[in-house]
Structure 1
Amino acid sequence: MRPLYLILKIVLNFSLRIYYKRHARVRAPKNFVNRTIYASNHPSSFMDPLIIAVRQNPIVHFMTRGDIYKGVMKQVFWSAHMLPIYRNHDGEDAVRKNQEVFDTAAKELRRGRGIIMFAEGFTDDKFIRRLKPVKKGSVRLGFEALEKCNWKKEISMQAVGLNYTNPKKFRSEILVAYGPKICLNDFKEVYLENSGKTISEITKRIEKDMRDQITHVDKKEWCSLHEGIMSLTRKGMNNENKDESIPLKKRWEYSRNLALWMNEHEEDKEEELDQLKEEVTGYFSLLKKSRLEERFIYEYATKGKISLWKNYLLLFLGFPFALLGLIHGAPSYFIIKPLIEKAFRRDVFWSSVKMVAGLAVAGIYNILFIFLVYYLIYPNWWVAIGYYFVVPGVTFVIFHLWWNNFRELKIRKILQGKDLGKFVSRRTVLLEKIKSRIPVA
């Protein structure tokens, strides 16, 4: 692997562990050398390739937007194993350039490297749990690579499903699931007989495998119903409303099974589910209008009150650590964050760019603390360097929790004086309807 790729793999692994509260992988590949094309969904723009490349063993190259692959950054992207893909509006020679990139990718496959391709092609502005139509490019690349090596190397394809609780939220969760491997060499005879048909059939198979690795709601209009049910039952992949005692993998399975049940009953339960959707939407609209959140109604329903003691405890005990985290993360939080939000109109880019840019700025800024620790606290370079790698990241997470807790405390104080009984009653009736009509819920 190229030096920059190795450095980024190590550094970003640490950064991703800070950014995401929980990680999980299902059927992840273990070999470092793997002639495999990974066909993935694309829910979170720049964050998606980082998750796959950093959190798995195989050495990979991945495709990126051609319009950013130029100038000084071209060499940087090349060193990071990034290959450009050009679209029609990138210029008249986009087709020729893409063929050159495909030739490079095919060469890397023959050398034992993996290729990540985001088969959907683009990211939605609003995150929804469903798969968009899959393009044929990844399958075509695999067969082109086999032709160039006269079918002497074994090249495979594997579906990848990226499952975020919320791709735009710091300290959310991520589960990456891998489908079964498909060895393209097994299709040599049918490919040579009819290449177009074979590519189409394998693309359909890959698309099915990709749907199996994620939560896919066939009917787009029911995505909000699916999310609402997960929030109310607290068993699924909703980021704000979940039972954290349930393992992430179990919540992923619940989310998938709920979507599968809805898909299977799309026709015979359509009227019933449309009515349920109206009721669920009405409940959450009422909460929004009343400036309430489901988690507060759940707490009131289970405990009979809105508690404050945990918030006060974190407020006082966490203050010194939060202050330290603020000191270490001030440039990233107060400078990088607003700059990126201003520079990028689409918020789907924010999480990944903030993470990488914040890591770079914080990494440089916090070098100062190596010398401060050595000269002012304890004269040992190993202790000072250990402080640099551990304390800024951990205390910044505490600062983030502390600050959110501070803002939430004000809301809880207001809610303590309110009777939330009517919301609890409506929620109880709604939950009973969900459980009686949807067996998997």
Structure 2
Amino acid sequence: MMEHIRWKNLERESIRYALLKIGVKWWHNLFYYRKVTALNTHKIPQNRPLIFAPNHENAAMDGLAVLCTTRGQPVFLARSDIFKKKLPALLLTFLKIMPIYRIRDGISSLQKNDRVFQKTVEILKRKRPLVILPEGNHAEFKRLRPLKKGITRIAFQAEEASGYHLGIHIVPVGIDYRDIYKFKTDVLVNYGDPIDISDYFDLYRENAQKGMLALREHLASAIRELMVQISTEKYYHGYMGILDLYFHRMKKRMGLSGNTHANKFQSDRKLVEILNLFLEKDPETVAKLSRKAEKFVALRKKLRLRNWLFEKDRVSFPGIFLHGLLLVIGFPVFLTGLLTNYIPWHIPGKVAEQFEDKVFISTVKFVVSFLLFPLYYLLLFILLWIVSSNLLIALGGIAICAFTGWIGFRYYISWKKWLGKYRYRRYMKKKNKTFTEAKNLRNELISRMDELVASAIPLPASS
């Protein structure tokens, strides 16, 4: 495996990689996600060796979130089993990803980490950033799991090999997704205060294990402060239900305006803090809230209604009629967009469905769409040019396909919203039992949460 890796390419700046990064960043920040919010990028030190350490919730998308919100060409560490074949290994090293070997790869494989370690020292000496996902593997929960030893071992041993003169800083990173599975959702990348590992040199020299443990604990604490940390496993889904249904009232309590991801992030963190406080003081109250929140989410899904519909309380018939009329008028544009863009819109999702680990869904969708859309439009352009023998007609046809495809996607979202409004009004008019139960349960939850939150956060003076 090692012979497949082009080690010399990793620490060097590459024009081809720089061009690829421009495309990936554009696709990631402007097309795949609705909005990418990067907080506190000013805290990232310049012109010094860095190791970025993000939480790991969403497979390769976590690394991409760091790549697309920072400068330069960082080098990533990934598990070694994806480097076994020659072609993937060459591709991964071109993408500045190198393997890290674990005990599960075999005791003999651990010796190969010596070469990896030498390369990390070279990379850091050149002041190229490393990105290491310190949890070691991904999990779809908003919870930081115990950090592996690798990141602190690499940092200390690199300093030790350089006479403790490198000046390595570890930058903790918190990544938060509105939904890790969906296209056109939001992602927030929150950079924290860099950790100067020289603060731990004395302890490391005295006892290496104690030094690495102390740094690892500091790093874990720093990452938790930059993300939504739901530590409880028992009430995790209940917490998530409460964060969703109480957001609009919580942002009012906190004096926040707008439904931005940054506001949702602040609201979620504060709500988790309050729920954790009551989990210690009055665990039975939190247990009841959690059970009710889980039940409400189950009822809402059964009714196929989104939470924002309950926020409206009432949905007027004129509003539904006007919305439906606009959909009828726009249907020809939607149909054109659907027919001309069905392949690139449809295939990424179908490919993602083949993966057993659903955390890879977003990664697969991103990669397949990034490759498929340009290829599809290139072939379509060539076909139009051949048929029309006119460059302007071919370019115009591509522009129309792209425009109607985008309008078609927006139309689809609007259609789903209209359908939700229609269901909501129908359930309300017919006094559907499940709907009534869901509304009553939601009102109970909000009333009880109002009491808990009021004890922690007074309403703003203007309210």
TM tier relative to shorter chain: 0.7 to 0.9
SS in structure 2 at match of 1:366: helix
Q: Is the 8 A contact 1:33 1:58 kept in 2?
A: no
CA displacement at 1:191 relative to structure 2? 1.9
Q: How does 1:419-430 map to 2 (within 5 A)?
A: 419=428, 422=436, 423-430=438-445
Encode CA deviations 1:225-251: one digit per residue, 9 max, x unaligned. 2222222223499xxxxx993332122
SS in structure 2 at match of 1:38: strand
Query: Judging changes above 3 Å, is the alpha-carbon distance between structure 1 residues 54 and 317 closer, same or farther for their aligned structure 2 residues?
Result: farther
Matched with 2:360 is 349
1:61 matches 2:75: yes
Matched with 2:409 is 400
- Structure 2 gap segments, 5+ residues each: 1-12, 251-255, 458-463
Matched with 1:335 is 347
Q: Is the 8 A contact 1:134 1:203 kept in 2?
A: yes
Query: Judging changes above 3 Å, is the alpha-carbon distance between structure 1 residues 111 and 360 closer, same or farther for their aligned structure 2 residues?
Result: same
Between 397-406 and 32-41, the greater mean CA deviation after superposition: 397-406
Which residue of the other structure, out of 198, 206, 222, is the alignment partner of 1:193?
A: 206
In the alignment, the residues of structure 2 paired with residue 359 and residue 334 of structure 1 have an alpha-carbon distance, to the nearest angstrom, of 13
Matched with 1:263 is 276
Which residue of the other structure, out of 53, 60, 66, is the alignment partner of 1:46?
A: 60
Matched with 1:6 is 18
1:184 matches 2:191: no
TM-score of the superposition, structure 2-length normalised? 0.83
CA displacement at 1:306 relative to structure 2? 9.4
SS in structure 2 at match of 1:204: helix
Q: Which one-letter code corresponds to 2:232 in the other structure?
A: K
1:283 matches 2:292: no
Encode CA deviations 1:359-408: one digit per residue, 9 max, x unaligned. 21211121245554899698569x949x96x8766654433332344355
Matched with 1:360 is 371
In the alignment, the residues of structure 2 paired with residue 107 and residue 85 of structure 1 have an alpha-carbon distance, to the nearest angstrom, of 16
SS in structure 2 at match of 1:176: strand
Matched with 2:124 is 109
Q: Is the 8 A contact 2:174 2:226 kept in 1?
A: yes
- Structure 1 gap segments, 5+ residues each: 238-242
Q: How many residues align?
A: 429
Encode CA deviations 1:30-58: one digit per residue, 9 max, x unaligned. 66744111111100011111111122114
TM-score of the superposition, structure 1-length normalised? 0.86
Which residue of the other structure, out of 122, 129, 133, is the alignment partner of 2:137?
A: 122
CA displacement at 1:432 relative to structure 2? 1.1
Query: Judging changes above 3 Å, is the alpha-carbon distance between structure 1 residues 46 and 80 closer, same or farther for their aligned structure 2 residues?
Result: same
How big is the alpha-carbon RMSD for the aligned residues of Structure 1 and Structure 2?
3.1
Q: Is the 8 A contact 2:74 2:96 kept in 1?
A: yes
Query: Judging changes above 3 Å, is the alpha-carbon distance between structure 1 residues 224 and 174 closer, same or farther for their aligned structure 2 residues?
Result: same
Q: Which one-letter code corresponds to 1:55 in the other structure?
A: T
Q: How does 1:184-223 map to 2 (within 5 A)?
A: 184-223=197-236
SS in structure 1 at match of 2:52: strand
Matched with 1:89 is 104
CA displacement at 1:11 relative to structure 2? 0.9
Matched with 1:21 is 34
Which residue of the other structure, out of 409, 422, 425, is the alignment partner of 1:416?
A: 425
Q: Which one-letter code corresponds to 2:79 in the other structure?
A: R
Matched with 2:167 is 154
Q: Is the 8 A contact 2:344 2:376 kept in 1?
A: no
In the alignment, the residues of structure 1 paired with residue 366 and residue 357 of structure 2 have an alpha-carbon distance, to the nearest angstrom, of 16
User: Identical aligned pairs, as a percentage?
Assistant: 23
Q: Which one-letter code corresponds to 2:353 in the other structure?
A: E
In the alignment, the residues of structure 1 paired with residue 297 and residue 361 of structure 2 have an alpha-carbon distance, to the nearest angstrom, of 26
